[in-house]
Chain A
């Protein structure tokens, strides 16, 4: 019996529309109304400015550890821009700009990173899951949401975010495999930012692209220039339309770069060169998009000032939040509090009555700062 080829050789597309030198492929340029372009740029800039502000807030001890998005604004905004509010958005933990776009208030994001669970509660009408921290474990949830939408006959599409490191996890494989079998309305958005903390992509996989992994699951995958918001949007719109039309899942690999630290507890000088970072700074997604808007005369004046004022007002609202009421820790363990937990709650209530509630950071000396964190905070000095 002869050997024969069962499948044709595959090819993977890479999509780029607006490159880092500002060259535009007008044949591929997506149609976005002027107002949409302005809102998109504003959301990207808000993501960048808030990110920079949050790094300072963290260094000052006003919020805890968080994962900055700097450099990935186009990847997350170009994709989430293709969703309707009734679609579902499933984040990992580095999607601040996309989450703000989906309706999370800035002060809620700050609350979340200041250790308040209230910051992770989506609004009742919001079709968004909260931040998930264990890598790739949110991907099967998104597939389940998509199955449920299909089961109920709803028109919703699910978009789930994860990084390049997540593609090495078992949950990634299981989720994409099931999504292919079930043919559910979902878009998998991989933010390939080149680094999973200190481990570069070449140590994650021997695949030429991450997008090609989709082919093994029987659905399309496409690689896009993740710093080109027009390319990310064009690919995402196509994938969302395919999903809504019953065409099943798509994997989009956004090739981007984390310009900042993995989290505020990370020191990237340990594992990557300054030259590499500088080279990627030349491909900054905001620079090329602002130039594109400039040519269209769509750049708003004093936009940065407006955004900074919006952030400052939100920081004020965040800092005006009262101390966390410890007693509420029992509110959402179960639908109904079992007797044991009622007793524990009662014990805590009595303790709190005896001594005024104190913040945990006042009771014990603060822990040693993590790498990169300054030792000062507003509570010591």
Chain B
């Protein structure tokens, strides 16, 4: 057991899987000699060489497009897109090809590949360096969309993603990279993709979050406990798609109330799908409308104003109080 931050935990998973499987390779901008702009691929180039840890030209469509080709050949590329805001330059390769090759070839080919991207705000960064775009990927059949909430889930989910036979979009909250250290087991640990975790049990309200918002949700739950005597059940979604509706519905059947928190703009976001799923599965248990706490429906606002739009503890607590009082 070692105490690792999320960067080190991700790096550990990459080391483990590259040692285990010679078909696993890494490709991206600055991932080699430099070890990645966030140092997630540190030391891998030195250890595995430039043929397996590829410093690609500055070309997102080529990173994903050539990785699709490698995957069709049977390799298992792990792609790094430097920031999720730059992935639109390869979005067509993800949607048109990585997600569809299994279907198009009726099972003859598939793309076992992971596309890692830092996403989200809270790091005082420029435009295209702070956005959350998980909803675009979650809507695409054939993809899996995964977002860990800390070092241990990051390591376990990344190992699972690398071993998953389907393409996995793996979002890493930039604000979490160095935020906290957690005990990470020495032996390899996997976490099932498609399964949410109840990280705190409660009877009064279900609070659903993922990525950097999990910490916000947990702090809000603490405030509700301390100040209102209300017990929130906190769910760490971990996988956006395929969505673990079973865990969500089971929780709301117990609590009767739900609040969803995410950093992406509210409209047509993951919260809408989550709310609809709860409605479908737990309608008769609901005591109040499901509320969403999300960024406002504005594009980039600049980090001088960012804190006004990204959900914080006070906003989540307020939404929970409205839901509890309904």
Contacts and interface: CB of A to CB of B under 8 A. Distances in A.
Q: Do A and B bind each other?
A: yes
A65 B326 CA distance: 56
Contact of B69 (A142, A338, A339): A142
Given A174-B62, A177-B59, A335 B106 contact: no
B243 interface: yes
Contacts of A123: 108
Nearest to A152: B73
B96 interface: yes
A124 B62 contact: no
Interface string B102-142: 11111111100000000000000000000000000000011
A178 B109 CA distance: 23
The listed residue with most A CB atoms (<10 A of its CB), out of B65, B74, B89, is B65
Nearest to B142: A333
A44 interface: no
A178 B66 contact: yes
The listed residue with most B CB atoms (<10 A of its CB), out of A134, A145, A174, is A174
A340 B68 contact: no
B34 to A, nearest CB: 17
Given A120-B105, A144-B65, A129 B110 contact: no
A140 B61 CA distance: 8
Interface string A188-199: 000000000000
A110 interface: no
Contacts of A171: 61-62, 65, 93
A18 to B, nearest CB: 35
B70 A332 contact: no
B57 interface: yes
B97 A137 contact: yes
B103 A338 contact: no
Contacts of B313: none
B72 A178 contact: no
A147 B70 contact: yes
Interface in A71-130: 117-118, 120-124, 129-130
A148 B75 CA distance: 7
B166 interface: yes
Q: What band does the interface of chain B fall in when counting residues whose beta carbon is under 8 Å from A? A: 35 or more
A151 interface: yes
Interface string A304-340: 0000000000000000000000000001111100111
B165 interface: yes
Contacts of B96: 134, 137
A141 B72 CA distance: 8
A137 B246 contact: no
Nearest to A118: B106
The listed residue with most A CB atoms (<10 A of its CB), out of B96, B103, B194, is B103
B56 interface: yes
A370 interface: no
A331 B65 contact: no
B69 A178 contact: no
Given A141-B72, A148-B73, A339-B242, A333 B103 contact: yes
A178 B59 contact: yes
The listed residue with most A CB atoms (<10 A of its CB), out of B25, B56, B104, B142, is B104
A174 B61 contact: yes
B70 A144 contact: yes
B73 A177 contact: no
A93 B103 CA distance: 17
Nearest to B165: A335
Contacts of B3: none
Contacts of B73: 144-145, 148-149, 152
Contacts of A178: 56-57, 59, 62, 66
Contacts of A170: 61, 89
Given A120-B104, A149-B73, A334-B142, A144 B68 contact: yes
Nearest to A119: B106
Contact of B245 (A120, A134, A340): A340
B51 interface: yes
Contacts of B108: 121-124
B105 A141 contact: no
A27 to B, nearest CB: 38
A335 B142 CA distance: 9
B5 to A, nearest CB: 31
Nearest to B71: A144
A69 interface: no
Given A120-B104, A121-B105, A140 B165 contact: no
Interface string B45-89: 000000100001101011011111111111100000000000001
A175 interface: yes
B92 interface: yes
A62 B93 CA distance: 32
A130 B68 contact: no
Given A130-B105, A338-B194, A339-B242, A141 B51 contact: no
A181 interface: yes
A178 B65 CA distance: 11
Contacts of B59: 174, 177-178
Interface of B: 25, 51, 56-57, 59, 61-62, 64-75, 89, 92-93, 96-97, 102-110, 141-142, 144, 164-166, 194, 242-243, 245-246
Given A145-B73, A147-B69, A147-B70, 11 more contacts: A140-B61, A140-B68, A140-B93, A142-B69, A144-B67, A144-B72, A146-B69, A151-B51, A171-B61, A178-B57, A333-B142
- Top 5 nearest A-B pairs (CB, nearest first) are A144-B69, A140-B65, A148-B73, A144-B66, A338-B242
7 contacts: A141-B72, A145-B70, A148-B72, A181-B57, A331-B107, A332-B102, A335-B102
